[in-house]
Amino acid sequence: MRLPLHSVAPAAAGILALALVSGCASGTAQPDTGSRADVTAGPNSVAPAAARDATATPTPALPDQLPHLGSAMLARIPANSTQVIEAIGAGPNSPDATVVFFQRTATGWKAGDTWPAHDALKGWTIDKHQGDLRTPIGVFTLTDAGGLLANPGAKLPYYRSSGFAISGKGFEGEPLAGAFDYVIAIDYNRKTGVSPLDGTYPLGYDKGTGVWLHVDHGGPTHGCVSIPRPDIISLLQQLDPSQHPVIVMGDAAALAR
């Protein structure tokens, strides 16, 4: 059954001013990566290797238990991942999306919460570049989180920092303040096991930086995926590093391949 596709918010930033370096919202943020004293860390079960599209042996669950995904996307989900987020874009050039959380159980994949979401202003791409206003398509691990506000109960390592402060307005004139109160780093072109604000880009700066899940501000992002504030808090509380969570994201047609 086709899920309704709604809208959500901006993308995130890297170590520089978020308006300039990130796949996220326009505006400014402080280039503060935070100290280890600011970190609330759970057991990080994913090795801190170069961050790029996750590729592994196919998950042994029945394919039809993860809807919307074709064989190519299913084959990229690591066999040890028992938590999967699907971010389903309304179209290849649309900033509107739907996010669905799946948990693998003894009887197969079970759908959990479904949330309206936003992706980048110009939609999706398989060849991400800095400033293209598109969100990368693929399967990516989720290993680190953080935000301007205190840890709301995240199991992922959580880095609190004033560097997540942001100001300014989005593409539709909406205020961006609070968009990075809570973020989950999407492991595209980033070093894992560090703050989402870290400025290490394994694929190079030109391939895009700072792609996050973050608080929706009511408009398109620069490259991130955003969901409403209560929902990202719920997601932070559910994601468990011991279950090797990943996000599968792209427009509906790309995901179905």
CATH code (residue 10)? 2.40.440.10
Q: Is 224 exposed, middle or buried (0-12, 13-18, 19+ CB in 10 A)?
A: buried
If one counts the domains in the chain, the total is: 1
Overall average pLDDT of the 27-33 stretch: 49
> Which residue in this structure is represented by tokens 């398989």?
126
Instruction: Quote the percentage of the chain above a pLDDT of 70.
Output: 75
38, part of any domain: no
53, part of any domain: no
Q: Which of these ranges, 101-110, 130-139, 172-181, has the smallest mean pLDDT?
A: 101-110
Overall average pLDDT of the 140-163 stretch: 98
> What pLDDT, on the 0 to 100 scale, is given for residue 20?
35
Q: With contact defined as beta carbons under 8 Å apart, do 98 and 4 qualify?
A: yes
First to last CA, the chain: 17
Higher pLDDT, 110 or 29: 110
DSSP 227-256: E-HHHHHHHHHH--GGG--EEEEEEHHHHT
Which tokens belong to 112?
A: 């959990």
∠ at Cα 177 (95, 27), nearest 5°?
70
Model confidence at 65, pLDDT cuts 50, 70, 90, reads confident
Q: Which run of H or of E encompasses 134?
A: none
Domain extent for 81: 6-33+67-248+250-255
> What pLDDT, on the 0 to 100 scale, is given for residue 24?
72
Q: With contact defined as beta carbons under 8 Å apart, do 249 and 64 qualify?
A: no
45, part of any domain: no
237, part of any domain: yes
Model confidence at 38, pLDDT cuts 50, 70, 90, reads low
Instruction: Quote the percentage of the chain above a pLDDT of 90.
Output: 73
96, part of any domain: yes
60, part of any domain: no
Which tokens belong to 138?
A: 């693929």
47, part of any domain: no
pLDDT digits (tens, 9 = 90+) for 226-248: 999 999 999 999 999 999 999 99
> What pLDDT, on the 0 to 100 scale, is given for residue 6?
34
189, part of any domain: yes
